[in-house]
Structure 1
Amino acid sequence: MLIGEVARRSGVSTRMLRHYDSLGLVRPTGRTVGGYREYSEADIRRIFHVEGLRSLGMSLRQVARALADPAFTPATLVGDLIRRTEDRLRRERELLERLRAIDASEPAGWDGVLHVVELLHGLDSPSPSRRQQAALAPIEDVPLLARAVLTESNPNVAGALRWALARAGADGVAGVATGMHSPDVTIRRRAVQAIAELPGDEATAVLTAALTDPDPEVRRHAALASGRRGTTAAIPVLVDMVVQGTNDVEAAEVLGTLALDPAQGQGILDALAGELTAGAAVRIRVAQALAELPGTLAQPVLRQLGGDEDRAVALIASALADVLDERAKP
């Protein structure tokens, strides 16, 4: 089969077939009387082998080695190809994210593009101190800040970024709220921490929705932040925090604030009292939380708990009831 026919059937250009011949990779086994290359069926099969290996990202040198050595084992080479491909994909993803960030900032001209690129270099720097400096500088590009907040792992830099985002006010909510839908729990945790520091009804709505997040840490951040804003839906999570002993002091303080509303006080009291069948450590934390409720609302429960079978629980409950008595005096 002549080179033109091979090119049509294989999809490999005549120029590339000649290149393969010059490299000794696929040499036609025959020549016509006129000196033209003539390929056998075995030659054509070798062409397809070459193309198949090239489709895996192998160089022509690697292909030649693989086809020339019958003892060649592909495991090491394939592993290397996987690592190189993963690295290339990572770089391309980073480029795509940068392009999206530039597009989201809607630059008016090349000066705007260059300004965004400069910000990205600062916020994406491998140096935490440089990233922190970039966060502390005046940044008006809210989408870039939101992106940086969701990707930052260093706690000091993350704090600076959240502060910078908070300066943008309610405008920062939309960009960071996208992180609440991420399958990556780390991103959701960063998002809820940032939103907790942002004002407005939109932020409150996002925090309220986060109360049902599958991750306990996300729920806790959302409960503390939304509870401080008066969201009563946070009460069950806050009570559970008291029971579990995770940020229980903060949770008790927020419950005390929510209980200032007469419509919520009795419900919070009942929810806490309902946990007094648990172990002694839990009963102590519940007693301490009850003492945060306004006025003498929790006094009857604390007096009853003063007769608890566990001496430590009884002493703490009695002492807290006495504190409420003092508080109630004119």
Structure 2
Amino acid sequence: MERLDVLIVGGGPIGIACGLEAKKKGLRYLIVEKGPIVNSLFNYPINMQFFSSSERLEIDEIPFISKEAKPKRNEALEYYRRIVTSNQLRIHLFEKVEDVSKNEDGFTVRSDKGLYTADNVIIATGFYDLPNMLNVPGENLPKVSHYYKDPHFYASQKLAVIGASNSAIDAALECWRKGSEVTLIIRGPEVGQRVKYWVRPDIINRINEGSIQAYYNSNVKEIRETELIIETPEGIVHLENDFVLALTGYMPDFAFLEALGIQLSKDEKRLPNYDQDTMETNVPGLYLAGVICGGMETHKWFIENSRIHAKIIVSDILQKKAQETHS
């Protein structure tokens, strides 16, 4: 069995950046990704446009050229795919890591397709896999989805969109423009302040003119086959409904992190324990990279401010290898 210097769990932009840096520095590495290349980006809405400009999404100073200043999903898929293929990165796709165990010699990593040994492991799995659940009756009905893909599906349908962030607002506007009868259900008093600055006025205008109905300071209490039960400041509302997009955000796989022995803060933020100078967790040789570092603060880390993690981690691994050589 080949022994790796580092195994990278997650083939998103930051996992790819880690692989690039490991290859440049001559480390024996492998990226293991449970889906396609940049799986999370692949599952973004078809028409999604990034908040960041293209140069802020670049990794390893490889130019990212897009038609507009802010690239779209299909351009990002093309960019990261070409980085993987042109650099011949070692990446196993559609392979899920199921267990990472620490031992005296390093780590044993078991996936659904193989077994690996590595001196170090980098967890770069993001947070897009587990939606924040509403925990209301009817949430498991087929009409309910926590992921949004294409507005055409909801044309001529009564659609409820739950949430006030970028994903919810984008979905509401796109579906309305394709002919959906859209209702927004927002827990707080207003559309989220972090909504893209060129989108927020659009949704507010649509609400004000009555094209999209919005319930503020409201919560869904129950989802039924043909209606929603909504608790509003004015009382209970029965809303006729065909489909529900519950776009209330996502979270890291905390159970997986805890199974690896990574300590999490006891408060609601669930921040993982790691050294910001090295990105190494409380488990020696186990590193975190990318948005997963923020715990429930999923707005804290992005591609643009976490791509540096690759160089930080690989530098620490090389420093340890050098110390072992001279000891």
TM range (shorter): under 0.3
User: Which has the larger Rg?
Assistant: 1
TM-score under structure 2 length normalisation: 0.25
If the length of structure 1 is used for normalisation, what is the TM-score? Answer: 0.25
Which has more strand, going by share of residues?
Answer: 2
Of Structure 1 and Structure 2, the greater helix share is in 1
